[in-house]
């Protein structure tokens, strides 16, 4: 589907939405190009100004959907450090994105296996990026002695399918229990990896020494131009919430999100959907304007 001067063009948006709905409902072969125009309320003469063929419409939708999914996976993966946290991050995206974008999820499940995308300049590399993320977290977890499993191929395919296909049985229109679902599937993934990590009594002392040696970094932070999200727990016993605010204040355009009841650890799994929304909003704002607007908020934490 050739893009107009602006992807906010209302006609193009209607056609894109109609194509997505029809392909998800009827499949590619059950949808005609004029069906898309009829669903969008666009005349035949106007239709071909935007859509050359239904093949182009399908390709553009899959390219956009897969790219967004891949970007969300990479952003979540990079937002944490420990390998078990990275696994939880991947599982969370694999669950939340399909549940909140069901039509696109159905389209990708239906059409990706039915067409040869191996030579497509955008779809194939994006698919490979997703596979590398999963392969990397499994290999790193095994190398660190945190994960214990037999076949990386088996566990990678099993985890990806168990999470992305949750929409086949999870009720549509009811996301009240989504945080709990994410938590249970994350626990399932960690259990399947037989994840374990022994305590290191010297770690806190090493970290405190590193913090003291680092000195005041506000000048360096003031030079950061990358859109930044600062996440802090208001029950952190190591760094008070003032430290999070000071960090956000020092970085131009940074957004601060404070989670009530969260300590000096990874944001609890039930809050991952909220955290993913924050990351997505940051990425969307950066893509639209090149910068991220300053924002400080305390999200609801009823599921923590």
Residue 200: the pLDDT is 55
Distance CA 101, CA 159 (A): 19
> Of 194, 185, 217, 207, nearest to 92 (Cα)?
185
Query: Which residues face 233 on adjacent strands?
Result: 259
Q: For 127-155, what is each residue's pLDDT tens digit?
A: 899 999 999 999 999 998 889 888 888 88
Question: Span 89-94, mean pLDDT?
Answer: 90
> Residue 164's pLDDT is what?
80
> pLDDT tens across 153-196, in order?
888 888 888 888 888 888 776 665 788 888 888 888 888 888 87
Cα dist from 84 to 81, 88, 146, 274, whole Å: 9, 6, 8, 19
Residue 208 has pLDDT above 50, yes or no: yes
17-54 residue pLDDT tens: 999 999 999 999 999 999 999 999 998 888 888 888 88
| Helix or strand holding residue 229 (H, E) | strand 229-233
| Mean pLDDT score, 282-304 | 53
Give dist(CA 65, CA 101) in Å, integer. 9
Mean pLDDT of 209-228: 79
The per-residue pLDDT for 199 is 55
User: Could you give the C-alpha distances from 215 to 98, 173, 206, 238, 243, in angstroms and in order?
Assistant: 44, 50, 15, 16, 14
């Amino acid at each position: 589907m050739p893009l107009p001067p602006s992807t906010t063009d209302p006609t193009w948006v209607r056609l894109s939405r109609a194509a997505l709905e029809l392909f998800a409902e009827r499949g590619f072969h059950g949808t005609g190009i004029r069906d898309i125009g009829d669903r969008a309320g666009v005349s035949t003469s106007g239709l071909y100004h935007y859509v050359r063929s239904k093949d182009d419409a399908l390709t553009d939708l899959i390219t956009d959907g897969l790219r967004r999914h891949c970007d969300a996976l990479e952003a979540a993966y990079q937002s944490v450090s420990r390998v078990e946290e990275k696994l939880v991050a991947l599982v969370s995206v694999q669950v939340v994105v399909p549940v909140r974008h069901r039509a696109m999820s159905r389209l990708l499940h239906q059409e990706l296996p039915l067409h040869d995308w191996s030579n497509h300049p955008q779809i194939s590399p994006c698919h490979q990026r997703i596979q590398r993320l999963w392969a990397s977290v499994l290999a790193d977890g095994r190398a660190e002695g945190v994960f214990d499993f037999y076949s990386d191929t088996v566990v990678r395919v099993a985890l990806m399918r168990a999470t992305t296909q949750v929409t086949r049985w999870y009720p549509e229109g009811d996301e009240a229990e989504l945080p709990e679902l994410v938590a249970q599937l994350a626990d399932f993934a960690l259990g399947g990896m037989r994840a374990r990590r022994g305590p290191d009594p010297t770690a806190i002392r090493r970290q405190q020494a590193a913090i003291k040696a680092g000195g005041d970094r506000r000048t360096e932070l003031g030079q950061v131009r990358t859109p930044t999200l600062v996440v802090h727990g208001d029950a952190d016993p190591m760094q008070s919430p003032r430290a999070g605010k000071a960090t956000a204040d020092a970085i131009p355009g940074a957004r601060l999100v404070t989670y009530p009841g969260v300590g000096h650890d990874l944001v609890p799994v039930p809050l991952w959907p909220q955290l993913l929304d924050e990351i997505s909003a940051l990425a969307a704002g950066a893509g639209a304007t090149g910068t991220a607007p300053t924002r400080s908020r305390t999200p609801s934490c009823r599921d923590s």
